[in-house]
Amino acid sequence: MTTITLNVNKQTHTLEVLPWVSLLDALRDRLKLTGTKKGCDHGQCGACTVLCDGTRILSCLSLAVMKNGSEITTVEGIADGDALHPLQKAFIEHDAFQCGYCTPGQICSAIGMLAEGKARTRDEVKELMSGNLCRCGANTGIIDAIMEVKEGGGRE
């Protein structure tokens, strides 16, 4: 067992984990933060996307021990109290989800992507979000929601 410290959603947690435990499993199983979803468990669907030190990562491909001391933000830490993040509001307004399984990863990925500042056009947003799959076909609504926040400003 290895002792690690993670600052998750602005709360410090000290955990003892086996060296092969993924960040995803530590978040879901140890911290009971089940908003982050386990999709493919191979880094191909993006359902497990979280922010690590402000950068979007696939938590299923990251070992928890590698993130010792990191600042992790999951979908549970996106809102500011009862005030939804602008992307959360935009997802609702644009009906950017159907089953909702991919939504937490989509929102975390979009926040990270916007912070990167690389997406200037709708096509660039589509490309930079292509690692997050929506099997229900809500992609148009997802891109519409991201573009609304991108064009309208808001906190990223």
CATH 1.10.150.120 positions along the chain are 86-152
Residue 69 banded pLDDT, cuts 50, 70, 90: very high
pLDDT recorded at residue 52: 98
pLDDT recorded at residue 154: 46
pTM of the model: 0.92
Which CATH topology does 2-75 take? Ubiquitin-like (UB roll) (3.10.20)
Q: Cα–Cα distance between 85 and 2 in angstroms, integer?
A: 35
CATH 3.10.20.30 positions along the chain are 2-75
Residue 58 has pLDDT above 80, yes or no: yes
Tokens of 3: 């002792």
Residue 152 banded pLDDT, cuts 50, 70, 90: confident
Q: What is the pLDDT of residues 83-130, one digit of tens each?
A: 999 999 999 999 998 898 999 999 999 999 999 999 999 999 999 999
pLDDT recorded at residue 153: 54
| CATH code for the structural domain at 86-152 | 1.10.150.120
